[in-house]
Every structure is written in C-alpha cells, then in structure tokens.
Structure 1
Amino acid sequence: MCLYMTQTNRFWKFVGLSLTGILIFTGFLVFLIWRNLGAGQSRVLYQIFQENLYTLLGLAFLILGSLWVVFDITYNRYILPLKRMAAEAGMIYDSNPSHRIRVRGSRDIREMARVINDFADMFENLNKTITQQILTARKETEKERNLLAAIMGELPQGIVVCNKNGRIILFNSLAKSLFTPEPASGSSEFFLGLGRSVFHLVDKALITHAMDEIIEQMNTPDTSIGSFFITPIAAGRLISAEAIPVLDNERRMTGFILALKDVSERIEKYQTVDNSLKAFRQLIHAPEPISPEVMVASFDQMAQVIKNITFSSLPLTTLPLDTFLPMIQKKAAFQLDVRVNIFRPPNRLRILADTYSITQVFLSVFKTLASGTRMQEFDLSVSDNEKQIGFHISWDGTFCTMSLIEAMIKERLNGLPSLGYILKFNNARLTPLTRDKEKCTGIGLTFLAGKPSGSARKSGAPVISNSRPEYYDFNLFNVTDSVENVLDTPLKKLTYTVFDTETTGLNTETDEIISIGAVRIVNQRIAYQDSFEELINPERDIPIAAYKIHGISYEMVREKPTIKAVLPAFKTFASNTVLLGHNLAFDMKMIKVKEPLTGIRFDNPALDTLLLSAVLHPVHQQHDLENIARRLGVNILGRHTALGDAITTAEIFLKLLPILNSNGILTLKDALRASKKTYYARLKY
C-alpha cells in the first residue's frame, strides 16, 4: 500500500502567522484613521468604498494571491530544496554512499547540489578504498574462521558453542538436525539460531550443574575438565552431551561448548538386548523341562540379536556396488593380473562394510584362487534379497584345495588381522562351494545389505566458503544479557524478529492470513539461516485480486496447517526479541484478531520502518517499501512474498540504524517516542 501525507511545515506556519499579523496591524491602522475622520469625511469614504466594493475586494485578493505565489515560489525554489539536500546528504553519509541529490530549485541551489554530489563521489571512492583495505586486513582472519566453521560442519558430533550467558554463537549442521523435530512428530517448534538461548533447547538446571562441576574441576589440579549428561530434547530424541569450557588467556570462563550425540537408537538397542536376555532367562527357569534343541535355538536367536546389535555399532560404510565392483575389477587386473567378469551388473545395490578391509578380502580371494587353480580369469555374479547381498565366484577348469582356502582364512592381510576376523568385523560370511571335503569349486561371500544413501547423513570434504558461514558469529562472545529495561537498551544491541504477512485482503476483521515469513537480526547482522516461513490454510477462498498480488492460490494452502497451529510456532520463534516490520500496524492487527481463536498474545515491543522513515525523512512524501529501498540503495528480491518482504525490511532497518543514531535516536524508547509523533502513527486498522 502506498501512503502519502501532507507535512505541516514551519515555513508555512510562519507565512500564515505573518499574513495574520499584517492583516491585524492593517485593520488596527484603518480603525485609528477612521476614528480621526470628520462626519463628512466618513460619509465620503463610506460612499467610495460602497461604490467600489468589488474592485477593492478583487484588489485585496490579488495582493494576497500575489503574496502566496511569491511565498510558494520561495518555498519550492529555496526552502524545500535546502531541506531535501540536508536530509539526502545525511543519507549519503550514514547509509547509502551511492545516493545522489536530485533537486529542483534556483540556480544557486542546483549549484550547491552539484558541489555536494562531487563531494559524494569523492566520499564514495574513499569509502570503497577504506572498505577494501579493511577487507584485505581481515582476509586472513576470515580464512581462519571459515576454515574452523568448515571443519566444524563435518564433525561427527553436533557442536553448539555458547557465551557464558547461554547465548548461542556457533553451531554446526548436525546440531541443527538434532534439534529439528521429525516430520509429523507433533512436537512444538524449538529453534536453534545465533543469539538464541540454549536453555530453550536443553534444561537450564542440567547446564548449570555441568558448569558448577567444571568450575570445581578447574580449582582442582591435574583433573580433566568436562561434564557429561544425558537428556531428552523437544525434538523427541535422547542426546548425550559433553560440556567443555571456553577459557580466555587468564583461564576465566567466557563460554562453553556442548558436544552432542543422538543416543536414542543405542538405548533402544540396549533395551532389545535386555529383552532377549530376560526371555532366555525365563526359558531356563521354566517349570516344564525344555528340550536341548529348543534351548540351543533360543540361545542362537539371542546370540544373533546381540551380534547384530554389536556389529551395527561398528563404523561400517554403505558401499554402492556400481562403484565398488568396478574398483575391485581394476585392482585385480592391475595388482594380480587377474580378469574378473561381473555378471548381473548391480542396480543401486549396496553392502554394509569397511571399504579398505573388504577390498583386501576380495583381492586375497582372487590371489589365492589364481595361485591354487592356475587360472587368470574368474566370474563374479551378484544376488540379493531384502537383507543380504551374495557374491558367487566361479571359474572354468581345475578345482582349488580346501586346505588352501582354510589357510587363506587364517592369513593376515597387509597389516590387518586375519581374513576370517575381517569377515566377522564386517558381519560377513565366506562359504566354500565343494563337491567333497577336499575340492573347492566356487566361493560364496555374503554381506548385509546397506540402506539407500538418502537415509544416512551425507558428508563430504569441508568446503571453505569465501564469505562468512551463517552458523556462527564470534562477536557474540562479547554480548551480555542486559539486566536493564529493554526500552533503555541501545538499538544496536537488540535482537529483532523481522516479519511480514500475506493475506486474503485488507479487511482486518474479515480477511485471513495465508503466509507468515520472518528472519532475525542478531548483532546487527541478518541471520538468513534462522528464518520462519509458513503457508497457512485460511479455510476460505482466496480472492483473485489478492492472488494477483502475492501469487498464493487456495490449491497451494489447502493441505497446510491453519493459523491455530502456526501462530504458537511463530510466537516461539519471535520470543525475547523486538518485532519489526513495515506498516506493522496492519500485520499486528491481523494477528491480534486471532487471539480468541489461538489464545496467543504477542507482548513484544515493536518497531515500524514506515514510521522510522517518516521520522528521518519528513521531506519525502512516499514511504512505501519500494521508495524507501530505492533511497537507501536496497535491492528488493521476492516482493510480495512474506519472507522476501521481511528480508527487504531487515536490510532497510540496518540502513536506517546509523541515521537513527546520528539523529539522537539511540535506544528503543527513543525510537518508539519518535515514531508516535509521526502522521502515520495515527492510522488505525
């Protein structure tokens, strides 16, 4: 919505007061002259006035009109251009060095604007030079930080680093996945993000106990420092956490690290083993006699359960056969001069095994067979079922002795344990195919089938980004939780939730919210990865006029959650922050009318970039998102999408922040007080 307003200007107040004063003074003089006239003179003047009434009134209006034109020309050619130059010069200095003054006025005013623009060119070039020098000076530091962040992203543990107040300053992708609820889990949203409190994710009492234990360890010489605990989290998982302190040069604790592992599956496996042991114990102590066959079968079943669980915890890899078998084929040809023919090429089949040791097993088998049969060519076929993958090695010609196969199973492989031990380690089995006890005519190898790669966490080489990763901000080490009133907190130290809504229309009483998008500002930076975006089922039709603006159709939101489900999650996302938006009164009213339905009430302090722009640039009449963005040099992407508009609003606010400070608006209280004085603050929805 584009809004306009008429500014009450001091100049026109002065003009009005001046004309009123002149009229009063003129009337007073006429009154004095009239009192000193004789009776005859009064009658003559009255007759002249009566005969020329319209002429005199026309002359008066002509004089007033002429004065108005003179004042209007003076205002538009001198006063208004000067006001705009002052405002736009401040904009160049504070937020947008590429902005240039374009005013219409007298020749002297235009010359002054040209001189200011020349200085702006010099300022912009100087600013670019200084910025480049700063970037060059910080380049090595940024490389080190980005290297650390890249390595952190590939650690096998979830890592969360906090300052001493529990505010998150770093986390890796695995930590983010640990605290993300499973789809359809029914769990409420708990968000992991920079600047957020870790106590919303992990019970504060546990961390406090861990910190007390660490402090006691630090006071005890020759004691390892760290504290362990296991706790359930809102995502429905059970995690094991190790708390490690972050110390400065004077061994004072400035923060702590939480190293996290998901132990839910491990606990379930222990429970399965316990159930198997209980069942076997009940079988042993059964009142009726149990046959040896049943006892052995029960024991074998229990042993298999324990074996499967034991081997499932080993660091085995899911190996796709379409790459693994060609590698075996090439190595056999290169190292052993043996040709391997692969039959029934595998289609997306995988085995669960250790890559290096199983490669050595295959090569050892082919080497032994080549030595025992004097053959240089073997056939390898693949079979599979849901749980196992089988390999059958065969050849034409003489057989291989069983004694040679038995010796191969006991032989150590290139510094590894014996082939038999390697097979046990990989939960695999080797079966000689024999016609009698002395002759081997084929070899069978059986492995557990691996799960599709999509079910496992993908990992790769750490990628060092040229720009700062989104998952850390070391400057937050220096941020402390202020105990003072949030209204007295400087604007630069606040955390903001910048949000926008898309609706079915502009009537706050009858229309519905169909999309909420939000992003956070932490430590004067936009945390792009810490965003909120939800489509909402309005449970009504979406008018074509609204669809043409935001492009959201009813088909897109039909299966989405309703406002009753989305607002609680958004309230959690925005907790302990200042709400920020553009024309925020409309969005807040749309949310407020849902209080009776959802039971959700937002009591966060709120700022509006529409009002702040009107405070800082009163000479401009247009304060819609597009015009403010153009003045401040902000590129608009994703216009009329809730998240896109929220990001644009966040960028605009960061541009306005230094201008607010230079105008003496330093704290949240200052910004709210200034906003209430604008014309737009009187708009009601």
Structure 2
Amino acid sequence: MSLDKMKQTNRFWKFVFFALAATLVVITAILSLLWQALSREEGRILISLANDYFLYIISAVFICIAVAFAGLEIIFITYIKPLKKICDEASMIYSSNPSHRITINGNKDIKALSYVINSFADLFENLNKNITEQILAARKKTEEERNLLAAIMAELPQGVFICNKCGRILLFNSLAKKIFSQESKSLKAEYFIGLGRSIFHLIDKELIGHAIEEIQTRLKNEQKSVASYFITPIHTGHLISVETIPILDQKKEMTGFILTFQDVSDDINTYDITHKTLVTLKKELSKHILLVKEELIQSYDKNRMNSSGRLPLIKILDQLPRHHERVSDIVLDAILTKVPLTKLLLSDFLNSMKSKADSQYGIKLNIIHQTENNRIQADKYLFTTALILLFKNLSDIILNNEFNIASLKTGNRIIFEITWQNRLSNKNQINKNQVEKLLYKRFNELPSLFYILKLNKAQLRIICDSFDFCSQINIITRAEFKTPLREKLRPPVIAGSRPEFYDFNLFKTEDENLDLLDTNLRTITYTVFDTETTGLNPDGGDEIISIAAVRIVNLRIAYQDIFEELVDPKRDIPMESYKIHGINYEMVNGKKDIRTILPIFKQFTSNTVIVGHNIAFDMKMLKVKEKTTQIKFSNPVLDTLLLSAILHPVHERHDMENIAKRLGVNIIGRHTALGDAIATAEIFLKLLPILNSNGILTLKDAIKASKKSYYARLKY
C-alpha cells in the first residue's frame, strides 16, 4: 500500500500517455482505412496538399498537443493533486493530529470537499476532547492513588527495582538511581538506569539467577516465605544487601521479580572498626586479668584457697573472657543485621558445594564426616562460589584436584577442616605466603576471599608444618546468631491481586530473542539522537560538539532517561555554526573528547533501534570516528525524513519544522541536540500510526520503504 502511494504522482501522467497512444492508434487505423478507400488520383491530391501545407499541419498538431497538455495540467493541479493531498491530510487528522486542518487551493468542488472534511475534523476533535475529559475525570481518583504510591516509592528507605522475568526494568525509585549512580568520573561506560533496560548490567546475572532458582525451589515446596537474599558489590564500589521477591500471575507462574536493596557499606566498615576494637579489648582484658590473678595469688595464703585450689574471685576472672566473647558476638551480630545471611543446613551446603566443584572444575571433595542437623549462617551463593574458587586456585598450585573436608562444631562455631595430599616435590607444595595471597585475590567479578569471609562472619586459619608449607586450611564460620532473629515472612506478589497504578505494563513482553527485523514497530525500544557540529563536512575535519539522545520505551518518551554531553572538538568553532546552535569554544573547552563520549553513548544505545532526522549526516559523523575510537554502531537505523517522504509524497518539504507543523508537534530548543532529539522522538511517535495504517508494521517494512525514498540517495 505504501508503494502504491509513492507512485500516485506518476499514475495520472501514465494514464494520459496510454490514452493518447491509444487515441493515436485509433486515428491512424481510421486514416489507414480512409486512405485505402481513396482512388489513386484522390491520394495524389492529398499528398500534394500535405506537401504544400506541411508546416501548417505540423504547427497545428503541436498546438493541439500543447493545448491538451495545458488542459491536462490544469486538471491535474485543480483536481488530481488536491485529491491526493486531501487523502494524505485526512489520514493525518485521524491518525496523528486531530487539530490539523486541510488548506488546499483548487476548484470550487475541491474547496467544498475540504470544507466538509474540516467540519467533520472539528467534530472529531471535539469528540476526542470530550472523551479525553471523561477518561481523565474517571481516572482522577486513580491518579491520586498513583501519585501517592509514587511519593511513597520515592521516600522508601530502600532502593526498589521491579523487573519482568527477562530482567527488564519496569519501575524503580529515586533511591535506586542514587545508589547506582556513577560517582567516579572514570573512562568506563556508565551504567545507565532506565525503563526497559536490563537489570543485569547493574547486578550480576548469576546472582539473580541463583536467587530465582532458590525462589522456584521454595515455590515448588509451597513454603510460606519465598524471598531470597544476597549481598553483592556494585560498580560504584559500594556493597548492597538485596532481597528478591517473586511476582506471580493468577496461575502462580512467575512473571517478574522485585529487588529491594540498601547500602550496607557503612555497616561493614563499622563491623571492621568494632571487630578490631573488640579484639584489642580482648587482648588488653586478658593481659590485665593475668596481672590481677597474679596479684591475688600472691596476696592470699594458699591455705585460704577453696578445695578446688582456686579463689572464688579468680574463678570469676576466668569467666570474663567467655563473657567478653559472648557480648562481642551479640554486638557484631547487631551491627550486621542488614546483611542477609541465610540459615543453611550444613549437609545440604556441603553436598551442593561438592556437586558444583565437580561439575564446574572437576574438583573432587571428600566429605569425611559432618555434624548432623547443624546449620551455618552464610550467603549461600557468595560463600559457596568463593570456596569453590579457593579449591580451584589451590588445585592449580599443588597440581591435585582432590580435597578432604571435615566439619566440626565447637561452641557456636562450625570449623571446616580442608586437607589434601601434598606431592613429594616442593614445587607442587603451597606455603603460607601463597595462601595469604589467595585471600586478597579477586575471583572473576566477586570481591576477595577475605572480604567474602568477613561478610559471612567467617575466618580463615592456615596450618603449616615446620618448613612453613601449608598442609591444612580451617574455615571458621558461625553456627547461629546469638541474638535470635525472627525470620521474615515474604510471600510472593500476585500481579493481578491489586490495582494497576503504572503506565508501563511490560510484564507480558518477551526479551529480544526474536529477529529484530520482524519485530513490530510498536514493541521496539528506540534511541532518538541528534548532534551539533562545527560544520557540515564530516570528511573535511568537522567535529561533533554536542550529542544528545532520549529513549522511547513502550511507545512513550522516557524523559528521565536522557543522554546529553558537550564534546571538546579540539578545534575552533566557525561563526557560521555558532549562529545556528549557539555553542562557542569556551563552552566546550575542557569537556570530554569524542574518544571518551562515544563508548558511553554506545552503551546508552545498546539493544535499541536508532532514530534521527536526516540521520545519514549524524551517522556519518560517528562513522568517521571508528578508526580513532574503535567504536562501531551496528544498530538498525530509521530516519524521520525518509519516513515522512514515504508517507506524504505530495508534500514538497520534509524538514523538521514542516513535518512538526503538519503533525502538531511543538519544537522547544530547536538547534540544540537535546531539543531536536526530543522533537524527533515526538515526530516519530506521530508517524507510527500512519506507518501502521499504510501497511508498514515491522522494522523490515520501515527500512525497505525508506530505501525507496529519493532522500535515501543523499550521501554525506
């Protein structure tokens, strides 16, 4: 249908050409028959007359053709062309801009038709306004509740992300954005937060995957509390405590999940300081107790001692270290109440670790003996992964993939005794220094083993022989909290059991696992961008001085998810360019250069279709920087200039101002990168329903149609 629309301008003239050709054929046939009916003398007379009046005959023929052409041109201008324009503009009224009106010069009939259509457009616009007012009135109470919810979400003491089952962010609050904001001005690509973006760019996918597996197991076992907890470092250098809660539909199938989290970095620092203080206090206390005991023994006669050979006061002094240790545990537990350590059945923990060590690295763990029905307090994912990676590193050094692990309970501690068979060669043995280095080595994206042990309130002790070779490692962890904590009851959230207060309903969307070219235009996430430059010659040394973008998610412009940067071009800005965009050298001097900005911008545009107006120029500006930045943009691209030319071929001008005027878009901040990007996004959203009504439904359809436009031939 869109292809037919492109050919409408030529159809009339094709019809005229074939009609004239047919007429000439008929006239020629008639003349041929008449010629055959004439006698030889009559034919000679006609040929003589034709020779005598040849110029007059030819002139008459050309005059007739010119008159016919002029008449046909008048018919085309006054009837055919206005009718085409009326069709285009009428579809624009009901598809995109109800306030648009047809203003066409033509004959009386065309003007009358335009008047009738405009009258219906007035009724249509008023009807739309009345319906909108009724909807707004009906939703007023819902909007109040929604605003109240938004205010509550903004003031929650915890960060919140709500995601669909594919990990796409559906909702987040201001504290979540604050916690994950990039604090350091590093050269790395920033971690953008926005609706429709993947949560896995912010939190390790394996961590969330482990939490979801744990949740699904609890759902299968019909446990009342199904939430999963973990702790993880994030790119800002902070440590967060995360609670994962499933969202279920009415069929009890998981459609998404909620992540609530808080920064526990200060708690860990406080734990460190308090632990060091308590250790120092214990040493000082032991030292002074020893002195007091010596004084007491010397000051009393041995005959006055009780039958046990100890003074009652000395017995009290002997109990002080145990009391100190008990109080220390309570204090340290109270500090880390935000750190969600889970009660793990010891047998399940060891068997799970044994299975994973074997499947991941081929490491064999021999569980010699274990205490029955005991539990440890630990972050299951971090603690298990860190211990397995410790075994892996030990195995690489000692060239032995078999370890023995025994668990013993002493008081409120569980001790894991890790032993192995040393080789005869000293090269394959490990000394104390090598083990200590492993303590501070980071494993993949995890923090160091020392840090993980500290988070799990555990310690590592190295057992060495007389030659300082390590023969055993003990991991000492907590058996249970001294201060009993009531387990939180976290049932799943049933998605259909409460009112909907959100505009972004993405729970039913699937991840981008289908071919993007065959994806419906209405379901794609877009990045709309624009640049301001020093000039119009990318190959001639002109540079980008400003780049801005905004995202379209679920057919809405995400105004809170924007990209805007001034760029130092490392050259002067001509006055001609300054007059257009108002950016001078002082404004960009000292800003980040294009080599720093492009990696960040590429991260911003990831997994989206790029949209722009006359985007061939902007993409050329990016392409000439591929060699110096090693950044290549392979996203699919759509151009509102080409789309407008396809949809409205009867309109001669397709610059941003004229398209915006036709579609009822108000441009704010023209010739600023962000202003033009937002205007282009609004234009694109207005064009989408017109594209659909013309049979352009998928990305492949839009790209194919764009290539047929004359403007697609323009090169930069």
Scaled by the length of structure 1, what TM-score is found? 0.69
Task: Give runs of aligned pairs for residues 438-453 of structure 1, distance below 5 A.
Answer: none
Q: CA deviation at 1:45?
A: 4.8
SS of alignment partner, residue 579 of structure 1: strand
Q: How big is each residue's C-alpha offset from its partner over 1:378-410, in whole Å with a ceiling of 9 and x where there is no partner?
A: xxxxxxxxxxxxxxxxxxxxxxxxxxxxxxxxx
Mapping of 1:159-170 within 5 angstroms? 159-170=160-171
8 Å contact from structure 2 (residues 551, 558) kept in 1: yes
2:622 corresponding residue in structure 1:
591
Q: Which residue of 2 aligns with 1:11?
A: 12
Indicate the residue corresponding to 1:661 in structure 2: 692
Match status 1:564 vs 2:595? yes
The answer to whether 1:651 aligns with 2:682 is: yes
Gaps of 5+ in 2: 1-5, 292-327, 337-500
The answer to whether the aligner puts 1:578 opposite 2:578 as a matched pair is no
Extract unaligned runs of 5+ from structure 1: 291-305, 315-470
Q: Which whole-Å CA distance do the structure 2 matches of 1:6 and 1:682 have between them?
A: 17
Trace 1:497-512 onto structure 2 (pairs within 5 A).
497-510=527-540, 511-512=542-543
Name the counterpart of 1:95: 96
Partner of residue 652 from structure 2, selected from 616, 621, 632: 621
1:173 and 2:174 are equivalent in the alignment: yes
Residues of 1 paired with 2:279 and 2:55: CA distance?
116
CA gap of 1:59–1:604, structure 2 versus 1, over 3 A, is same
**Pairs within 5 Å for 1:320-469:** none
- Equivalent residue number for residue 546 of structure 1: 577
Separation (CA, whole Å) in 2 of partners of 1:202 and 1:473: 25
- 1:272 and 1:53 map into 2 onto residues whose CA distance is 115
Rounded to whole Å, the distance in 2 between the matches of 1:617 and 1:143 is: 41
After superposition, what is the alpha-carbon deviation per residue over 1:523-578, rounded to whole angstroms, capped at 9, x for unaligned?
11110000101111111111111111111111111111111111111111111111
Deviations 1:139-191 (A, max 9, x none): 22222222111101011111111112211111111111111111424442111
Q: 1:269 offset after TM fit, Å? A: 3.7
What is the alpha-carbon distance in structure 2 between the residues aligned to residue 585 and residue 611 of structure 1? 10
**Residue in structure 2 matching 1:535, options 566, 577, 588:** 566
Distance 1:252 1:140, change over 3 A: farther
Structure 2: distance between partners of 1:282 and 1:539: 62
Equivalent position amino acid for 2:521 in 1: L
Q: Deviations over 1:17-45 (max 9, x none)?
A: 33344445556666776788777766655
Which residue does the alignment assign to 1:361? none
Moved more, 84-93 or 22-31: 22-31
Change (3 A) 1:37 1:48: same
2:525 pairs, out of 476, 495, 503, with: 495
CA separation of 1:274 and 1:117: change in aligned 2, threshold 3 A:
same
Q: Is the 8 A contact 2:504 2:554 kept in 1?
A: no
Corresponding residue for residue 447 of structure 1: none
CA contact (8 A) 2:271 2:335 kept: no
Q: 1:46 to 1:624 in 2, by over 3 A?
A: same
- After TM superposition, the structure 1 = structure 2 runs for residues 591-610 of structure 1, keeping only pairs within 5 Å, are 591-610=622-641
CA distance in 2, matches of 1:134, 1:196: 30
Q: Distance in 2 between matches of 1:196 and 1:507?
A: 35
Q: Secondary structure at the match of 2:539?
A: coil
Corresponding residue SS for 1:652: helix
> Residue type matched to 1:259 in 2?
T
Shift of 1:481: 1.9
The 3 A distance-change label for structure 1 pair 522 and 105 is same
CA contact (8 A) 1:81 1:103 kept: yes
Name the aligned partner's letter for residue 160 of structure 2. I
Find the aligned partners of 1:158 and 1:186 in 2 and give their Cα distance: 26
2:76 aligned residue: 75
Deviates further, 150-159 or 32-41: 32-41
Identify the residue that residue 513 of structure 2 maps to in structure 1. 483
Partner Cα distance (2:35, 2:629) in 1: 76
Secondary structure of the structure 2 residue equivalent to 1:102: coil
Q: How does 1:132-151 map to 2 (within 5 A)?
A: 132-151=133-152
1:169, 1:473 within 8 Å by CA — same for their partners in 2? no
Residues 1:217 and 2:218 aligned together:
yes
After superposition, give the CA deviation of every residue in 1:244-295 in whole Å (9 maximum; x if it has no partner): 2223444433221111212233333434445566778899999xxx9xxxxx
For residues 131 and 53 of structure 2, the distance between their equivalents in structure 1, rounded to whole angstroms, comes to 73
Query: Could you tell me whether the CA contact under 8 Å between 1:491 and 1:666 is conserved in 2?
Result: yes
8 A Cα contact 2:161 2:169, kept in partner: yes
Amino acid at match of 1:655: K
For 2:241 and 2:179, locate their aligned partners in 1 and report how far apart those are by CA, in whole Å.
11
- The corresponding residue for 2:456 is none
Give the conservation status (yes or no) of the 8 Å contact 1:181–1:236: no
Percent identity, please.
Answer: 59
**Counterpart of 1:64?**
65
Q: Distance in 1 between matches of 2:36 and 2:269?
A: 110
- Count of residues paired in the alignment: 505
CA separation of 1:474/1:63 partners in 2, compared to 1, >3 Å: closer, same or farther?
A: closer
Give a deviation string over 1:593-635, Cα, whole Å, max 9, x none: 2111111111111111111111211111111111111111111
Whether 1:634 and 2:635 are equivalent positions in the alignment is: no
Match of 1:127 in 2: 128
SS at match of 1:666: coil
Q: Which residue of structure 1 lines up, in the alignment, with residue 458 of structure 2? A: none
Aligned to 1:404: none
- Tell me: CA distance 1:111–1:174, structure 2 relative to 1, closer, same or farther (3 Å): same
Please give the secondary structure, in 1, of the residue aligned with 2:570. Answer: coil
Bigger shift: residues 243-252 or 657-666: 243-252
- Asked if structure 2 preserves the Cα contact closer than 8 Å seen for 1:194 and 1:472, the reply is no
* SS at 1:509 equivalent: helix
Supply the distance in 2 between the matched residues of 1:167 and 1:38 (Cα, whole angstroms): 91
Report the Cα offset of residue 503 of structure 1: 1.2
Partner of 1:115: 116
Distance in 2 (CA, whole Å) between partners of 1:110 and 1:200 is 58
- Specify the SS of the correspondent of 2:620: helix
In 1, the alpha carbon distance for the partners of 2:187 and 2:644 equals 42
State the partner residue of 2:341.
Answer: none
Is the Cα contact below 8 Å between 2:270 and 2:335 reproduced in 1? no
Q: Is the 2:146–2:502 Cα contact (8 Å) retained in structure 1?
A: no
- 1:623 match: secondary structure: coil
Give SS of 2:139's match.
helix
CA distance in 2, matches of 1:60, 1:13: 21
Superposition deviation, residue 101 in structure 1: 1.1
Structure 1 residue aligned with 2:233: 232
